[in-house]
A and B are shown apart, each in its own frame.
Chain A
């Protein structure tokens, strides 16, 4: 089994706001292995972006702050690092691809400059080498006429090309981990496929680990080796892609799967939405954050946070349904269907 390259333990990250302290990420633990693609899935506001930005300390601090936990990268704790020390990690050790390529590139700087900026203040490469490297990376991410693009400004590029430039920025420092935060959400479906293929391709060529954040289970199924499902700032379930899709253990994961359409979905098959809204993180519920939206919610769910149950070496799930006392239900079917039988 591949080495752990990043280990996150009991991470709790909060923001001080006008309305009080928001606990965006609560007791999150996971690890990233060399060369794997780890998916983090969840709806907006579930803490997936904040978690990922914690790894590069990109959340504004203040108002954000670490309440507890550690993020070990190559044995060193990122939580304890100063801004100056973080700089050595950002871009060359761990890099980030942002959600919206339209707004994530500086409109007043040429594409080439924005890619080369990674090397500003780092020794060891001549100007010429840097430029060659940049052009090579542009070619690698599938941008034609790199020499021309090099001198262009972001607004002269299409959305897909901008995202390729973002990927080029993330790649040019040869990082060992790339964090991609919804890299395809704002792109057309055809471009999305191209970008995802590109990421997969790069992983194979450069053996980079990728943390892929998305709300789209389709993307997860296509790309990932292992998956974390997050809800209300906590991890609900984690496991390999197969386990998540075929041995679903958490009602929230089940809800996500039931709410997406696949090619196999027949016309009269109804997609099931998850009712309600995610919990208010100003005052997170005492019990399971998902209880209020969960049709299997039990008394205990409203009162106590569920513990993690180990279902297989990779598969864990935080849900009271796994407790020996709990009734046996088929979470993929739902109560009504069960009753009909």
Chain B
């Protein structure tokens, strides 16, 4: 098990390093510098470049950057000169994390329940209902889902606030908008997995033992069917977090996504770098946690070391 965890951590660190390097050099290739404002004089531009260290050789910048990263300093924003990337992240991350966690909890819990209900009622109306919900859910991109929710629940029926993030009622629509796609895919995977597992021989063994139907379903069927869902948790976290980009701009939530999109549009090198590294590292970390989690709940992985 220790070996398994160490291997996962190792791969994650390499991934983060590659990501940081790629982000750094790609950002240097971007067309248009950060100080493209035609109102700036040539001298002012050079001054700014020197101030932010853009006049030094790329390799030196790279090494400086790596050094900064190791000390936890993600750099400055060239667009919001008074703020460090760290400060921006500190103010925006809580919003994104809050939204992300809500959406994720919603998606996974409802997805699992829907999938299980669907599989246990295979072939009847309940199954059909959940299958249709899942099929629709996986066919609607999250920004369209968000916009539709806004239109109906906020504009047409006036049930919930249309935008911003100032209390529980405000969180409902963006969480659903963000989590719906994931919920639908979790439900599909869970349903398929449940139906696959129920055909396994060990379910028959369990039934032959004379234990209750509930126990067979809970301890044998669901316990094994949940494995494939765990494997997609990593990508799911990624999907939900990148989904925050559009959901945050749609619902005017001051989260990371909003800044990220802005930084891309403004060619704000440092901010792009900082944000991407943060996002990337965070997601790699999530993947790693999921992998380790998988090792813990599936005894086969634990021993084999994958």
Residues of A at the B interface (CB closer than 8 Å) are: 53, 56, 58, 83, 86-92, 95-96, 98-100, 103-109, 114, 117-118, 120-121, 153, 155-156, 166, 169, 173
Contacts and interface: CB of A to CB of B under 8 A. Distances in A.
Given A153-B303, A173-B210, 20 more contacts: A56-B208, A58-B208, A86-B210, A87-B211, A90-B207, A91-B208, A96-B204, A98-B201, A103-B201, A104-B201, A104-B205, A107-B224, A107-B298, A108-B299, A109-B219, A109-B223, A117-B209, A117-B211, A155-B299, A155-B300
Contacts of B204: 53, 58, 96, 98, 104
B39 interface: no
A268 B173 CA distance: 81
B3 interface: no
Contacts of B113: none
B219 A169 contact: no
A161 to B, nearest CB: 15
Contact-size category for B: 20 to 34
A83 B213 contact: yes
Contacts of B208: 56, 58, 90-91, 95-96, 98
B211 A106 contact: no
B8 interface: no
B299 A153 contact: yes
A250 B243 CA distance: 70
Contacts of B209: 90-91, 95, 117-118, 169, 173
Interface in B173-206: 200-202, 204-206
B220 interface: yes
Given A90-B210, A91-B210, A106 B299 contact: no
A106 B202 contact: yes
A108 B200 contact: no
B293 interface: no
Contacts of A91: 208-211
B201 to A, nearest CB: 4
A87 B216 CA distance: 12
B28 interface: no
Contact of A88 (B210, B223, B303): B210
Nearest to B212: A121
A120 B215 contact: yes
Contacts of A109: 219-220, 223
A91 B209 CA distance: 4
13 contacts: A83-B213, A90-B209, A91-B208, A98-B205, A100-B201, A106-B220, A107-B298, A107-B299, A107-B300, A108-B224, A108-B227, A109-B219, A118-B210
Contact of A105 (B202, B207, B210): B202
A103 B213 contact: no
Contacts of B224: 106-108
A169 B299 contact: no
Contacts of A155: 299-300, 303
Interface string B202-243: 101111111111010001100110010000000000000000
A105 B208 CA distance: 12
Given A108-B299, A120-B215, A87 B210 contact: yes
Nearest to A56: B208
A89 B210 CA distance: 7
Among B201, B208, B219, B220, residue most surrounded by chain A Cβ atoms (within 10 Å): B208
Contacts of B227: 108
A104 B210 contact: no
Contacts of B210: 86-92, 118, 173
Contacts of B303: 153, 155-156
In the A-B complex, list the 6 residue pairs whose CB atoms are closest, starting with the nearest: A90-B210, A91-B210, A96-B208, A153-B299, A104-B201, A103-B201
B297 interface: yes
Nearest to A92: B210
A310 B274 CA distance: 89
A91 B208 CA distance: 6
